[in-house]
Amino acid sequence: MFGKKTTLTERLDALNTAADLGRGYLSPHEQEAITGVTEQAAQRRELSGSHTVVGFFGATGSGKTSLFNAVVGEDLGKAAARRPTTSSPLAAIWEPEGSEELLDWLQIEDRRMRTGTFHGSPLILLDLPDFDSVEPKHRAVAERLAGQVDVLVWVTDPEKYADSVIHDEFIRPHASHSSVTLAVLNKADKLTKDDARNVARSFHQLLIDDGLSRVRVIPTSAKTGAGVEELRKEIARVAQSHAAQEKRIAADIDTITQPWAEQKVPGDVPRGAKKELDTYLAKAAGADSIADVTAAAYRKRLGQKTGWLLTSWIPRFRADPLKRLGLREEADELGVHRSSMPALDASSRAVANKGVRAFADTAAQGLPTSWSSALFDHTEEIVDDLPDQLDRAVARTELPAQPGKGWGIFTFFQWIGLLAALVGVLWYLVIAFLPGVIAPIMEPRIPEVEGWPVPTLLILAGLLIGLVLGLFTGAFGWAIGAGIKNRTKRAIRNEVAEISEDSVVAPLMEIRNRYISFLEAMKKAAS
């Protein structure tokens, strides 16, 4: 009934897959962001899982360090004056065993060990540099650790709680981290109870506008201690669940996948796009002209083979249409030979280019700019190689220009007719010049059938058979030639279709399908 929830490991695996698929297509910033999440997650999961890292982030003058000291229960901030610079974060550590590698990863040098536990849980509490410091390195430290700690505590005060720098540059970019975020309105003692409630309510609305709908605002005062114990309990609650680390990683994944999760997966490329491409390429390859020439060659050869023997020799003096174009009848199965046809002219190239680019336009639909740009760049390479590919397609096509052996029966009867006519002619010649030869054999020397001399009948019948057969095969040959023309066009189109599939469709669809796989991986990571 309910789908299985994707585990964090599965989400990270999907994000890693997306990072691999997006390499070369994503912008350097996008690639770095995705890779950064996967690498950081892998590193954090290898380190102490028992310690929860809580970072106090705040603007200058928010009382962040004072609040930190109040939560710790000791004035560690004074000791911080002995630190080399205020850019060095301070760590208060409860149950230090196993925390060393984690603190090394966080690059925390100033480490203060605490006795016991923090309300029963191992904890690392960080006091961080002001993120609005005029010192760029201070801000850099705050930005880095905002991306590493398990729990973010935003500390502000009644004067700066609405500061755009806080919201635009720090809180809003971490909007997906509601489950590991605490908001503190410090210095609440400077306000009346009603004003404190109103400011806290206003701060909460700003957080909602930032995208953090589940974050509560805790009014505190480091000076009076108001709200400090409540803040301790909230931190302890998060630490005791031992889920902050996983929630933080999940929130990082949510942040990086959110823009992609909303994208619609492109649908299938219409089948008609491939047919249209094949039509353009077949035309560019000269399928129509080659089909005409093949049909002409077929008719010529059929006429030579089955035509009237008295005239069938005449076409032999005309050049064979196929040979005139340098076309081979037999197919070059390996596709290593070129035909002798002239290279594609400008018009044919334009037709081929139009077909490829039309398909590219269709394949690019639904792709973001980086993928579509890569697709069109590859189209240029395809167009450059296409003339040779089309020539090989023609060379691989078997051209049906040779009449079948069945036509030999007409040749046989043509010879029968010619022999009959020759017998009739020889009969008259013998009678005319050698009458004595026939007299002993036959009397009368010229027999008749229905008043017609037999030699005359032989001559007339032989000539008539040859003429009728010649006219019949000639007319039939023109009809068959139309079929030969269509067969040739289909054969060339089939070869061109293979070329278009291998050289155009496959490489362009590989880019499109790579994006679809990338998007599906990002959506899985987002789930």
The pLDDT value given to residue 5: 78
Write the pLDDT tens digit of every residue in 444-467: 667 767 777 777 877 787 777 777
513 φ/ψ angles, rounded to the nearest 5 degrees: -65, -30
Interatomic CA distance for residues 185 and 191, integer angstroms: 11
Q: What's the topology of domain 51-251?
A: Rossmann fold (3.40.50)
pLDDT at residue 361 tops 90: yes
Long-range contacts of 502-509 (CB under 8 A, 24+ apart): 503/382, 503/385, 503/386, 503/389, 504/277, 504/281, 504/356, 504/359, 504/382, 504/386, 505/274, 505/277, 505/359, 507/378, 507/382, 508/359, 508/360, 508/363, 508/375, 508/378, 508/379, 508/382, 509/269, 509/363
Contact 307, 509 (CB under 8 A): no
pLDDT at residue 476 tops 50: yes
Its pTM stands at: 0.76
Per-residue pLDDT, averaged over 426-450, amounts to 67
The pLDDT value given to residue 462: 74
pLDDT at residue 94 tops 80: yes
Contact 180, 149 (CB under 8 A): no
Q: pLDDT band for position 313 (50/70/90)?
A: low
Q: What is the DSSP letter of 292?
A: H
Nearest CA-CA partner of 356 in 501, 251, 196, 192: 501
The pLDDT value given to residue 85: 40
Cis check: omega of the bond before 444, within 30 degrees of 0:
yes
Q: pLDDT band for position 195 (50/70/90)?
A: very high
The pLDDT value given to residue 344: 65
333 φ/ψ angles, rounded to the nearest 5 degrees: -60, -35
| CA atoms lying within 13 Å on the CB side of residue 101 | 9
Write the pLDDT tens digit of every residue in 507-525: 999 999 999 999 999 999 9
Of residues 277 and 239, more confidence is placed in: 277
Interatomic CA distance for residues 469 and 63, integer angstroms: 113
Of residues 479 and 186, more confidence is placed in: 186
Domain boundaries, the chain: 51-251, 271-404+478-526
The pLDDT value given to residue 519: 95
Cα angle vertex 53, ends 204, 118, to 5°? 95
Mean pLDDT (the chain, rounded): 83
The pLDDT value given to residue 328: 55
Give the number of other Cβ atoms within 10 Å of residue 205's Cβ. 11
The pLDDT value given to residue 460: 81
Helix (H), strand (E) at residue 68: helix 64-72
Of residues 467 and 141, more confidence is placed in: 141
pLDDT at residue 319 tops 70: no
The pLDDT value given to residue 311: 59
pLDDT at residue 23 tops 90: yes
The pLDDT value given to residue 457: 79
